[in-house]
C-alpha cells in the first residue's frame, strides 16, 4: 500500500491555544499511505497537539490539512474521523464501556453497524489482540497492558486506515511495552495502516520508517530513524537515548573497534560474532 | 479495596434469572420496593422473605454474596431498629429503665423495620448480580424512554450513568493513592484528631476533583475520536427481546404486592 497515495498533506499549519501560547508554527509535511512515522521531540514541543490536529480533535488556526485527498474542515470532520483511530496515553481514561466487550462495541454502535457485524468484529479483533478471554471483564480487573490492548482492539475494530498512537506506551511496564511494539510491527506488516506514533521509546522509533523531530513547534528534522540515532547532538536536543546496540557500536568505536555504521539489532550481533571469530 | 466493591458487579452463573429481560427486572424491582414499603406485619414479612429467598436461590449465586451486599448498611439497620424501640409504645411493657420502657410492640416493629431494610438491600442486589452493566443500561434506557415526552434523552442519561459507575473504582483507587502520598509526607489520616481529619479531607477533595476533570477531558477526546456525536443515531450492541418469561417474572411481583396488600387490609 505504501506509495499509493498520501495519507496526510499539511501546508503551513499553525496552532495556538491563545495569542500568548503559540504551539505549532508553519508545519508543512506529507505522510505516505502505509508508512509508519514517529513524531519525536522534548516534552511541550507540540507533538500531542499535532496529533490532535491530525485526528480532527482540534482545528488549525491557519494552514490546511488534507486527509487522504479530503480537506479537513469543520464540515468534513465527521466524515474523515472514521478513517482515523487514536490510541492515547492513559489506558484508564480511554476505557468507555463497563466491560471489554462493550468498550470495543462503543465505536461500532456509533457507526450504526448491525448487531451481527458488531458481534463478529468484537470477536475477531479481540482474538487478534489476544484479549478474547477478557471480554466480560471490568477495566478495574485488567492490567495497564491489557487495557491498552483493549484500546487498540477498540480502534482497529472500527477499521480505520490511519492509526495515531499518542504516547500509547509511556505508561506501560517494559513487558507490556514490548508487546505493544509487536502489535505495531504486525500492523505495519499487514500493510493496511498508516501509523503515526508519538513516542520517546528508542526501540519504537527504530522500528518505524521515518522520524519527524519537533522542537518549539517547528519541524527540526525529518529523517530515517537510523540517521536520527547517529546524530548525537539532535538526540540530545530531543532528550532521547539511543537504543542499546547504537550506543554499543558508538562505544566500541571510541575504544578503537570499528564496526560498519548504521547497523541495528541482529546485524550488530552478527558483526560482533564475526569480529570474534576473525581474531 | 476493589474486591469490596460488590456494587455493580455481575456474577454469571447462567441461571434463568440472568436471562430475564433487564426491563422486566427493573420493573420487578420497583414493584418489590412497593411491596416492602407496604409490609407492616409478621405474616407479610414472612411472605416477602419467602419470595426473596426463592428468587435468590434460583439465581444460583451463593447467599453469602447477598449478605455481603447488605452488610455495609448494618449501622442504618441498627438505627432504624433502635428508633422503633424507643418510640413505639404499644403492647406489653417488657422492662423499664428510668422513664423509658421497652414495649413488645416497639420490639416487634423494630425487628420488622430492620428486616425490611435487610431484605430490600440484599434483594435488589439480584438486579446488579444477574445483569451486566451494559444490559442494565439498555434496560434502564428502555424503562426511561417515556421521558422523551418531557425532552430528556434516555440514551444520554444512561450513558452518563454508566460512565459515572465505570469510573467509581478508578477514582477510589486514586483517592487511596493520594491518601498514601499524604501519609508518606507525614499527614497520616489515621493518627489525626477528628477536626484535623475534616480539614484533611478537604485537601483531598481538591486533587481528586482536579484529576476527575482531567480524566473527563481525556475521555471526551477518546469518545470523539471513536466517532461519538451527541444525539447522533447509534445502533445497539445488546438486543433486548421481551418474552413470555419476562411477563411472568413481572406478574410474580404484582402477585407479591397483591399478597402483601391483602394482608394489610384484611
Instruction: Print the domain residue range for B96.
Output: 2-150+240-265
Res. A226 pLDDT band, cuts 50 70 90:
confident
Residue from A58, A80, A98, A111 whose CB has the most chain B CBs within 10 Å, to mutate: A98
Q: Do residues A60 and A161 both lie within one domain?
A: yes
Asked whether residue A189 is assigned to any structural domain, the reply reads: yes
Q: Do residues A76 and A178 both lie within one domain?
A: yes
Asked whether residue A1 is assigned to any structural domain, the reply reads: no
Asked whether residue A120 is assigned to any structural domain, the reply reads: yes
Asked whether residue B216 is assigned to any structural domain, the reply reads: yes
Residue A162 has pLDDT above 60, yes or no: yes
Q: Do residues B206 and B244 both lie within one domain?
A: no
- Asked if B227 and A81 come within 8 Å (Cβ–Cβ), the reply is yes
Q: Do residues A213 and A113 both lie within one domain?
A: yes
Å from A104 to nearest chain B CA?
Answer: 10
Q: Do residues A238 and A276 both lie within one domain?
A: no
> What is the per-residue pLDDT for A195?
96
Q: Do residues A130 and A216 both lie within one domain?
A: yes
Q: Do residues A38 and A170 both lie within one domain?
A: yes
Instruction: Print the domain residue range for A20.
Output: 6-242
Res. A136 pLDDT band, cuts 50 70 90:
confident
Asked whether residue B235 is assigned to any structural domain, the reply reads: no
Å from B1 to nearest chain A CA?
Answer: 11
Q: If you average pLDDT over residues A36-63, what whole number do you get?
A: 92
Higher pLDDT, B188 or A67: A67
Q: Do residues B123 and B7 both lie within one domain?
A: yes
> What is the per-residue pLDDT for A49?
93
Q: Do residues A181 and A262 both lie within one domain?
A: no
> What is the per-residue pLDDT for B219?
94
Give me the CATH number covering residue A15: 3.40.50.300
Of B169, B221, B235, the CB nearest to A109: B235
Of B2, B222, B237, the CB nearest to A88: B222
What DSSP element (H or E) covers A14?
Answer: strand A6-16
Asked whether residue B219 is assigned to any structural domain, the reply reads: yes
pLDDT tens per residue, chain B (266 residues)? 344 454 557 788 888 999 899 999 999 999 999 999 999 899 999 999 999 999 999 999 999 888 888 888 889 999 999 998 888 888 888 888 888 888 888 899 999 999 999 999 888 889 888 988 778 888 888 888 888 888 888 888 888 888 888 888 888 888 888 888 888 887 777 777 888 878 878 888 888 999 999 999 999 999 999 989 888 888 888 878 899 999 999 999 999 999 999 988 87
Which of A73-87, A176-190, B145-159, B246-260 has the weakest average pLDDT? B145-159
- Asked if A94 and B133 come within 8 Å (Cβ–Cβ), the reply is no
Contact A194, A33 (CB under 8 A): yes
- Asked if A86 and B225 come within 8 Å (Cβ–Cβ), the reply is yes
d(CA A98, CA A179): 24
Q: If you average pLDDT over residues A71-78, what whole number do you get?
A: 91
- Asked if B221 and A90 come within 8 Å (Cβ–Cβ), the reply is no
Provide the domain count of chain A. Answer: 2
Asked whether residue A279 is assigned to any structural domain, the reply reads: yes
Asked whether residue B90 is assigned to any structural domain, the reply reads: yes
Of A98, A108, A118, the CB nearest to B162: A98
Contact B139, B22 (CB under 8 A): yes
Reference B219, options A53, A151, A38, A54; nearest CA is: A151
> What is the per-residue pLDDT for B13?
86
Q: Do residues B29 and B53 both lie within one domain?
A: yes
Asked whether residue B26 is assigned to any structural domain, the reply reads: yes
Q: Do residues B9 and B55 both lie within one domain?
A: yes
Q: Do residues A30 and A71 both lie within one domain?
A: yes
Q: Which residue of A has its CA nearest to B168?
A: A140
Radius of gyration, alpha carbons of chain B: 23
Measured from the Cβ of residue A18, the count of other Cβ atoms closer than 10 Å reads 7
Residue from A96, A108, A157, A166 whose CB has the most chain B CBs within 10 Å, to mutate: A96
Asked whether residue A237 is assigned to any structural domain, the reply reads: yes
Q: Do residues B37 and B135 both lie within one domain?
A: yes
Higher pLDDT, A252 or B20: B20
Asked whether residue A226 is assigned to any structural domain, the reply reads: yes
Res. A264 pLDDT band, cuts 50 70 90:
low
Q: Do residues A92 and A54 both lie within one domain?
A: yes
Asked whether residue A28 is assigned to any structural domain, the reply reads: yes
Q: Do residues B50 and B101 both lie within one domain?
A: yes
Q: Do residues B131 and B78 both lie within one domain?
A: yes
Asked whether residue A209 is assigned to any structural domain, the reply reads: yes
Q: Do residues B176 and B144 both lie within one domain?
A: no
Q: Which residue of A has its CA nearest to B11?
A: A136
Report ipTM for this prediction: 0.83
Residue from A52, A88, A140 whose CB has the most chain B CBs within 10 Å, to mutate: A140
Asked whether residue B137 is assigned to any structural domain, the reply reads: yes
CA distances from B244 to A63, B136, B248 (A): 61, 19, 6
| % of chain A surpassing 70 pLDDT | 96
Measured from the Cβ of residue B180, the count of other Cβ atoms closer than 10 Å reads 12
> What is the per-residue pLDDT for A63?
93
Q: Which residues from chain B sit within 8 angstroms of residue A112, using beta carbons?
A: 233-235
Q: Do residues B209 and B114 both lie within one domain?
A: no
- Asked if B12 and A136 come within 8 Å (Cβ–Cβ), the reply is yes
Q: Do residues A236 and A250 both lie within one domain?
A: no
Provide the domain count of chain B. Answer: 2
Output b/e per residue, A182-198; b: 16+ Cβ within 10 A.
ebbeebbeeeebbbbbb
Q: Do residues A247 and A190 both lie within one domain?
A: no
Q: Do residues A166 and A64 both lie within one domain?
A: yes
Q: Do residues B121 and B162 both lie within one domain?
A: no
- Asked if B173 and A140 come within 8 Å (Cβ–Cβ), the reply is yes
Å from B236 to nearest chain A CA?
Answer: 6
Amino acid at each position: 500500500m505504501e506509495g499509493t497515495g498520501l495519507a496526510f498533506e499539511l501546508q503551513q499549519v499553525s496552532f495556538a491555544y491563545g495569542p500568548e501560547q503559540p504551539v505549532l508554527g508553519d508545519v508543512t509535511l506529507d505522510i505516505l499511505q502505509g508508512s509508519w512515522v514517529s513524531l519525536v521531540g522534548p516534552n511541550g514541543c507540540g507533538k500531542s497537539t499535532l496529533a490532535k490536529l491530525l485526528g480532527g480533535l482540534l482545528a488549525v488556526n491557519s494552514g490546511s490539512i488534507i486527509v487522504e485527498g479530503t480537506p479537513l474542515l469543520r464540515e468534513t470532520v465527521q466524515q474523515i474521523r472514521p478513517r482515523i483511530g487514536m490510541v492515547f496515553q492513559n489506558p484508564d481514561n480511554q476505557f468507555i464501556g463497563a466491560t471489554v466487550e462493550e468498550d470495543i462495541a462503543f465505536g461500532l454502535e456509533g457507526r450504526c453497524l448491525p448487531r451481527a457485524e458488531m458481534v463478529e468484529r468484537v470477536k475477531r479483533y479481540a482474538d487478534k489482540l489476544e484479549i478474547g478471554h477478557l471480554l466480560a471483564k471490568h477495566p478495574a480487573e485488567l492490567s495497564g497492558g491489557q487495557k491498552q490492548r483493549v484500546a487498540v482492539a477498540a480502534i482497529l475494530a472500527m477499521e480505520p486506515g490511519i492509526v495515531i498512537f499518542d504516547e500509547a506506551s509511556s505508561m506501560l511496564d517494559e513487558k507490556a511495552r514490548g508487546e505493544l511494539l509487536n502489535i505495531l510491527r504486525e500492523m505495519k506488516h499487514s500493510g493496511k495502516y498508516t501509523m503515526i506514533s508519538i513516542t520517546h521509546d528508542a526501540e519504537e522509533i527504530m522500528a518505524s520508517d521515518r522520524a519527524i523531530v519537533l522542537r518549539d513547534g517547528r519541524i527540526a528534522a525529518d529523517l530515517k530513524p537510523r540517521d536520527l540515532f547517529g546524530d548525537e547532538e539532535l538526540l540530545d536536543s530531543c532528550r532521547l537515548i539511543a537504543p542499546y546496540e547504537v550506543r554499543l557500536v558508538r562505544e566500541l568505536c571510541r575504544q578503537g573497534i570499528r564496526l560498519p555504521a548504521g547497523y541495528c539489532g541482529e546485524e550488530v550481533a552478527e558483526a560482533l560474532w564475526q569480529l570474534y571469530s576473525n581474531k | 479495596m476493589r474486591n469490596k466493591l460488590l456494587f455493580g458487579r455481575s456474577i454469571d452463573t447462567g441461571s434463568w434469572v440472568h436471562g430475564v429481560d433487564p426491563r422486566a427486572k427493573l420493573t420487578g424491582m420497583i414493584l418489590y420496593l412497593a411491596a416492602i414499603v407496604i409490609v407492616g406485619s409478621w405474616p407479610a414479612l414472612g411472605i416477602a422473605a419467602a419470595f426473596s429467598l426463592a428468587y435468590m436461590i434460583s439465581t444460583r449465586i451463593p447467599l453469602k454474596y447477598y449478605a455481603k451486599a447488605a452488610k455495609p448498611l448494618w449501622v442504618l439497620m441498627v438505627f432504624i431498629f433502635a428508633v422503633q424501640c424507643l418510640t413505639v409504645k404499644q403492647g406489653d411493657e417488657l422492662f423499664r429503665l428510668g422513664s423509658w420502657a421497652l414495649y413488645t410492640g416497639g420490639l416487634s416493629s423494630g425487628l420488622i423495620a430492620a428486616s425490611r431494610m435487610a431484605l430490600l438491600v440484599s434483594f435488589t442486589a439480584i438486579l446488579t448480580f444477574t445483569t451486566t452493566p451494559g444490559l442494565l443500561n439498555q434496560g434502564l434506557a428502555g424503562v426511561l424512554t417515556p421521558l422523551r415526552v418531557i425532552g430528556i434523552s434516555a440514551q444520554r442519561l444512561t450513558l452518563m450513568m454508566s460512565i459515572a459507575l465505570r469510573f467509581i473504582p478508578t477514582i477510589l483507587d486514586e483517592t487511596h493513592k493520594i491518601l498514601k502520598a499524604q501519609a508518606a509526607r507525614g499527614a497520616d489520616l489515621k493518627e489525626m484528631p477528628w477536626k484535623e481529619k475534616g480539614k484533611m479531607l478537604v485537601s483531598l477533595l481538591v486533587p481528586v476533583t482536579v484529576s476527575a476533570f482531567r480524566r473527563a477531558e481525556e475521555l471526551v477526546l477518546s469518545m470523539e475520536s471513536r466517532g461519538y456525536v451527541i444525539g447522533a443515531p447509534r445502533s445497539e450492541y445488546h438486543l433486548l427481546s421481551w418474552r413470555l418469561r419476562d411477563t411472568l417474572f413481572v406478574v410474580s411481583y404484582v402477585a407479591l404486592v397483591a399478597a402483601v396488600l391483602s394482608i394489610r387490609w384484611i
